Structure 1
Amino acid sequence: MKKPSSKIREEIARLHDQLKAAETREAERIGRVALKAGLGEIEIEEAALLSAFEELAGRFRSGGGKATGRRNAAAPRSAGAAASSALAPGAAESGDSET
């Protein structure tokens, strides 16, 4: 039995609301972690920051980084230092031990 279009629209609206709520929770979580790492203190263009986040996401998607975060939880400032060096122009070519 087919659903009427009005029911489908209601379901889509409900799913949009769920998606918005999930994205808000994820953004708040990532924002808190970024602030703990010291990213709030760095003046950087949004495009450069986005590029660094995309690179970081790629590392975790490919299995190159640990997803638990346990190691960095004990020393959040060292994570901020690593993030700031990764965000600095030309830092990727500097022979950083992380790469």
Structure 2
Amino acid sequence: MKKPSSKIREEIARLQDQLKQAETREAERIGRIALKAGLGEFEIDETELQAAFEEIAGRFRGGKGPATGRKNAGDGKAGSTSAAKDEAGAAQSSTGEA
């Protein structure tokens, strides 16, 4: 039997919440690693930091192009920009610096 639309909406909302929580955990993890590596000590332009993260991601993907997994990933920039901001924000919030 098919699910009513209200049940599908509830399931979508639940999955969106799970996705948000998973992205937060990932951003915090990457932020902690970045801090341990000493990235919190440098004034780095966000675009340079994003480019460095994309380069590292490419190494681990085996040279494949950037795959952001984000909604706005049509041009490959919008999703990865917000990911870099999340990572940088997690790194900054962990140290109490702004």
Report the TM-score, using the length of structure 1 for normalisation.
0.61
Identity in percent: 83
Q: What SS does structure 1 have at the residue aligned with 2:2?
A: coil
Q: Structure 1 residue runs of 4+, over 4 Å off?
A: none
- Map 1:78-93 → 2, pairs under 5 A: none
Q: Which has the larger radius of gyration?
A: 1
**How far apart are 1:2 and its partner, in Å?**
1.1
For 1:13, the aligned partner's letter is A
Aligned length: 63
Number of the residue aligned with 1:26: 26
> 1:55, 1:5 → 2: CA distance?
42
Structure 2, unpaired ranges of 5+:
64-98
Report the TM-score, using the length of structure 2 for normalisation.
0.62
- Map 1:1-99 → 2, pairs under 5 A: 1-62=1-62
> 1:11, 1:47 → 2: CA distance?
36
User: Over aligned residue pairs, what C-alpha RMSD do you find?
Assistant: 1.1
Q: What SS does structure 2 have at the residue aligned with 1:44?
A: coil
Question: Higher relative CO (CA 8 A, sep ≥ 6), structure 1 or 2?
Answer: 2
**How far apart are 1:44 and its partner, in Å?**
1.1
Structure 1, unpaired ranges of 5+:
64-99
